[in-house]
């Protein structure tokens, strides 16, 4: 069974290249494979949109929430100050990106790994972790390894997944999550400031990584991670400061538009 989606605010290519998810990969020119928790979804880009290889029930219960289809991204772009030419351009260029509702544990580890790595290198390390220590799902596809599984590994096992200095941070995060020192599920109920501070108690998690986990793992759309691409855009386009207050409820969506445009758009060249 398949489900057809015709939505101009759902662009698989842009989402896969937006730096928020490392297990959404293109397998052919038109086909994509996504692994989320214990679920596998194959998708195909068509002339009319995207075809999802799943039942209607699975779409309604799993993938509709995961892809955040209840949020009106066109309305968010419409809220951009028309006098801000750069942000208008970034929003138009990034239209189709959605903030996925990912698993906090996977997001935490993935963004610890992401430090000082490019996207292909992050994906390679994450996939190695999954193949070696994740539970098999189907056809050579593996789930993201649990905190308990990673907590029981020697550091050398993690280093062998090309984690480098991040290996000790992944090990510490796994041990904290497995022991309950950080309860990632219970943290869903925390206010933003408390959640940020709790995430920063994990070794290797600073302001940027914590904000990434909040945005992509807890769907806190007000969070605005700042990396080198964002800093460059701010320096060039907002010498007097970015108007965070105007967009405080949806800053994370705009962050994705700016990030994608800075890396791929005309002003990046």
Residue in this structure with the two tokens 């996939």, named with its chain if needed: 127
Q: What pLDDT shows up at residue 269? A: 41
Nearest to 229 by CA among 207, 260, 190, 203: 260
Enumerate residue ranges in the chain where pLDDT < 70.
266-269
Residues β-bridged to residue 35: 40
Q: What pLDDT shows up at residue 268? A: 45
Domain that holds residue 194: 104-208
Q: What pLDDT shows up at residue 9? A: 96
Q: What pLDDT shows up at residue 266? A: 55
The pTM assigned to this predicted structure is 0.95
Does residue 86 lie within any of the structural domains?
A: no
Alpha helices in the chain (DSSP H): 12-16, 56-58, 64-66, 73-78, 85-94, 104-113, 119-133, 147-151, 155-159, 166-179, 192-199, 207-217, 228-237, 251-264
Quote the CA–CA distance of 18 and 199 in Å, as a whole number. Answer: 23
Residues 60, 16, single domain; the answer is yes
**Residue 14 neighbours by CB under 8 Å, 6+ apart:** 94, 96, 97, 260
Residues 118, 60, single domain; the answer is no
Domain count, the chain: 2
Does residue 150 lie within any of the structural domains?
A: yes
**Residue 35 neighbours by CB under 8 Å, 6+ apart:** 23, 41, 130, 137, 141, 142, 143, 144
> Which among 155, 186, 208 is the end of a domain?
208
> Which among 23, 44, 70 is the end of a domain?
70
Quote the CA–CA distance of 192 and 252 in Å, as a whole number. Answer: 13
Q: What pLDDT shows up at residue 265? A: 81
Residues β-bridged to residue 49: 46
Residues 30, 118, single domain; the answer is no
Quote the CA–CA distance of 225 and 252 in Å, as a whole number. Answer: 7
Quote the CA–CA distance of 194 and 95 in Å, as a whole number. Answer: 32
Does residue 65 lie within any of the structural domains?
A: yes
Residues 110, 192, single domain; the answer is yes
């Amino acid at each position: 069974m398949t489900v057809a989606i015709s939505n101009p605010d759902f662009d698989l290519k842009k989402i896969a290249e937006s730096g928020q998810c490392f297990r959404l990969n293109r397998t052919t020119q038109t086909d994509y494979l996504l692994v989320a928790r214990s679920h596998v979804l194959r998708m195909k880009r068509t002339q009319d949109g995207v075809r999802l290889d799943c039942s209607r029930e699975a779409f309604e219960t799993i993938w509709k929430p995961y892809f955040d289809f209840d949020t009106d991204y066109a309305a968010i772009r419409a809220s951009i100050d028309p006098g801000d030419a750069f942000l208008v351009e970034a929003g138009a260029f990034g239209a189709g990106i959605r903030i996925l509702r990912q698993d906090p544990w996977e997001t935490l580890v993935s963004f610890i790994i992401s430090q000082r790595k490019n996207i292909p290198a992050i994906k390679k390390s994450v996939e190695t972790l999954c193949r070696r220590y994740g539970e098999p799902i189907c056809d050579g596809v593996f789930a993201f390894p649990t905190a308990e599984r990673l907590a029981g590994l020697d550091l050398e096992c993690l280093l062998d997944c090309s984690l480098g200095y991040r290996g000790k941070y992944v090990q510490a995060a796994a041990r904290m999550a497995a022991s309950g020192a950080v309860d990632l599920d219970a943290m869903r109920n925390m206010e933003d400031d408390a959640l940020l501070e709790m995430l920063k108690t994990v070794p290797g998690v600073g302001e940027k990584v914590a904000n990434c986990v909040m945005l992509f793992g807890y769907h806190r759309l007000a969070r605005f991670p700042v990396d080198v691409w964002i800093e460059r855009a701010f320096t060039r386009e907002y010498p007097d400061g970015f108007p965070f207050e105007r967009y405080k409820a949806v800053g994370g969506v705009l962050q994705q538009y700016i990030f994608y445009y800075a890396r791929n758009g005309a002003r990046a060249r």
